[in-house]
Structure 1
Amino acid sequence: MIFVFLALALGGMVKGATGAGAPVVAIPVLAAAYDVRFAVTLMVVPNLMTNLVQIWRYRADRLPDRFTLAFALAGGVGVGLGSLALVALSPDVLAITVAVAVVIYILVRFLHPGWALAFPIARRLAAPAGLTAGILQGATGISAPVAITFLNAMRLARPQFIVTISVFFAVMAAIQVPVLARLGLMTGEMFLYGLLALVPLAGAMPLGNALARFMSARTFDRIVLLLLAATAAKLVIDVLL
């Protein structure tokens, strides 16, 4: 329980600093202590609440609504499909495919540091990227390899990045609650556990946000890339183990 508490607090710090990453830190520990279904279900309520807070805090920096809604609503459809996969299918092939794609993206960024995804192209890719990320979120509890890769490729400023990814995560979490309840995973007891998990996670977010004030745009970009590398490594390790 101590390790779970520390993992949730560390996840809160990362989320406060970057706008994402709490499940990347917390879910591996929760899955090791319990199982993947427990970990994914437990993180839904904290994800919903913390992302609603970040949406409000960074609301003035949001991108055009048409882009954000296409990305987020497609993610909502995907998370419903992925939740079915959580119950019925093995996500190993999907996980490895996504991990390889993330590694290729990171290599491209280091080999061509000036490359960025133009907004007109990103607008056309918003729905497919959101759908793919949503499926991964529903099946594994972690959509960062797709969602963060897509937004990081646009080279958004930190406030724009945070509000966009927060809308995406909040919509998916809102859909996951009734879907997982219908599947018998989100019980009243699990909902209560989620509220309890919110305490260390949300409590550590202000510390991460305070630390982020000292980060340059370059440092923020590098931290996000490291976060992506960690998620890719986690996906591969989960499959191999």
Structure 2
Amino acid sequence: MSTANAFLSASPASPGFLALLGGTFLFAGCVKGVTGMGLPTVAMGLLGLGMPPVAAAGLLVVPSLVTNLWQCATGTGTGALLRRLWPLLLASAAGAGASAALLARLDPLWTGPALGVALIVYALHALWARPLKVPPGAERWLSPLVGAVTGIVTGATGVFVMPAVPYLQALQLGRDALVQALGWSFTVSTLALAAGLAAHGALRAPQIGWSVLATLPALAGMALGQRLRARLSPQRFRQAFLGLLLLLGLELASRALR
């Protein structure tokens, strides 16, 4: 039995597990509703405090897929956007599917700290790095390279954001196109990770059932976040969100030293 299925077999329907599942996805959905991203990243960070990352990755498959497809449906010009981004998306899918064995097979003693490092790198970059801009002509070879690296990080940690998010921001897409591009990137990564985990026996019916259930608080949180977006300072909320990711990352990464 895989680490993920062993964990879920030992803890389903317990009050603590249900509270962790509901609270995590309600908050992660709220973050996505306010910022347009962050559900998988927040969910992986919070769930990783109480379970192996491979179990957390299985639980976020359906909520991440549903909320990202919702995000993909916004905006116009989808065909042109996909024609531009397909090298990134294809390489990301290939990388995530191929490297999912790392998350499925490695000891949580190592995958937990790896998840923590991924969260730290993303939070620090988003907080302090200067905005990037892709030079003219570089997109042709950068897109598949960034996609492949993103896929490998996704397969190893369950986190979809690095380096795809800063790269997409550097393409100067415009607000609506960027939100849609992030949705497509996360959707492809989610599907590829799910396929990779299933191929290695780390994603089975019990996880899918709990993942479907987790979609309800995720959607409720996303709706709440969209309502709160007009009342909150986006900059302050973003700083608080990234600060939380940094703290979660430090906690998870420090487990390798204990």
Structure 2 length normalisation: TM-score? 0.76
Equivalent positions of 1:71-220 (< 5 A) are 71-89=88-106, 90-91=110-111, 92=113, 96=117, 99-100=120-121, 103=124, 106-109=127-130, 115-118=131-134, 120=136, 121-122=138-139, 124-154=141-171, 156-213=173-230, 220=234
Q: Is the 8 A contact 1:62 1:163 kept in 2?
A: no
Tell me the SS of whatever aligns to 1:144. coil
Supply the distance in 2 between the matched residues of 1:206 and 1:137 (Cα, whole angstroms): 26
Query: How far off its partner does 1:33 sit?
Result: 2.7
Give the aligned length.
233
Q: Cα RMSD between the aligned structures?
A: 3.0
Q: Is 1:38 matched with 2:62?
A: no
Q: Which runs of 5+ in 1 are unaligned?
A: 110-114
Judged with a 3 Å threshold, the aligned counterparts in structure 2 of structure 1 residues 128 and 234 are, in CA distance, closer, same or farther, namely: farther
Aligned to 2:37, the other structure's residue is in SS state coil
Unpaired segments of 5 or more residues in structure 2? 1-17
The match for 1:56 is 73
Percent of counterpart pairs with the same letter? 26
Structure showing greater Rg:
2
TM-score of the superposition, structure 1-length normalised? 0.80
Structure 1 position 64, deviation (Å): 3.2
Contact 1:63 1:164 in 2 (8 A): no
Q: Look up the SS of the partner of 1:33 in the other structure.
A: coil
Residue 227 of structure 1: how far off its partner (Å):
4.6
**Secondary structure of 1:32 counterpart:** coil
1:26 corresponds, among 16, 28, 43, to 43
CA contact (8 A) 2:45 2:115 kept: no
Indicate the structure with greater helix content: 1
